[in-house]
Amino acid sequence: MYYFRTLPLIAVKDPYGNNTAAVNLMARASIVQSLLNNPALFYQYDIQDGDTPEIIADKYYGDVYRYWLVLFANQILDPQWQWPLTYEQFEVYINDKYASVAANNSMTSLEYTSTTIYEYRETIITYDTASQTTTSNNYVIDLATYEVTPPYSTETVTFDDGSVATYTTTTQAVTIYQWETEQNDARRTINIINSAYVGDFEQQFKSLMSS
């Protein structure tokens, strides 16, 4: 299915003042959140360097023109900035974004972002023996807290019912480069619509766009 052919038409004036039909590029439709959480409809995919929506669509659906399904399933409106950058693109992005401030500090962008702290972070990993589950939570802390908190500590707490919880706390100073890398990598895991339901999604989308 060609994505832009499904979009509704709107009446606009041409340069000569005549009415003409144009594709409404601003038309949007969203997937209901409950569907996004349905494991039968989606599986996860980790984007690799060089992957594009077209490549993934061809790989999973055998049709590059179904690239829009890859974007639609992840509510990506701007592939340029919501899609993970390749290593080369990432390096260019870092250089462009931080070149000025790095130069003011007589550094390259890489030197500046690799040595300048973006935030201080505390990570608490909890293991509960009763449920045999492990949870991990990150917290941003200030410099004063970071300086007085041990880089690694473990505490075990025994509750009245005999269950035990172990808390492992670590702290770290996160550089700008590390933070930017985390933001880029966070975009790598996406939802892929199960190919068995692609036809249904296309029909639903056409119906939404024509209503």
Query: 4-48 pLDDT, tens per residue?
Result: 455 444 455 656 666 664 444 344 455 545 455 666 788 899 999
Whether 182 shows a pLDDT value over 60: the answer reads yes
CA nearest to 31, candidates 81, 82, 70: 70
Determine the 3-state secondary structure of 198 from DSSP: helix
What is the per-residue pLDDT for 131? 86
Determine the 3-state secondary structure of 85 from DSSP: coil
109 vs 18: which has the higher pLDDT: 109
Domains of the chain in sequence order? 3-84+191-210 (no CATH), 116-185 (2.10.60)
**Number of other residues whose CB lies within 10 A of the CB of residue 53:** 21
Lowest mean pLDDT among 21-35, 119-133, 191-205: 21-35
Q: Annotate 28-42 with b (16+ C-beta within 10 A) or e (fewer).
A: eeebeeebeeeeebb
Cα dihedral sign, 68-69-72-76: negative
What is the per-residue pLDDT for 9? 43
What is the per-residue pLDDT for 1? 47
Query: 135-154 pLDDT, tens per residue?
Result: 999 999 999 999 999 999 99
Lowest mean pLDDT among 127-131, 147-151, 174-178: 127-131
Query: 62-107 pLDDT, tens per residue?
Result: 999 999 889 988 889 888 889 999 999 999 999 999 999 999 999 9
How confident is the model over 108-123, as a mean pLDDT?
98
What is the per-residue pLDDT for 24? 43
What is the per-residue pLDDT for 43? 86
Question: Are the C-beta atoms of residues 21 and 14 closer than 8 Å to each other?
Answer: no
In whole angstroms, what is the distance from residue 167 CA to residue 69 CA? 42
| Token duo for residue 101 | 């401030």
What is the per-residue pLDDT for 12? 52
What is the per-residue pLDDT for 22? 47
Q: Which residues are 172's β-sheet partners?
A: 121
Whether 204 shows a pLDDT value over 90: the answer reads no
For the whole model, what pTM was predicted?
0.73
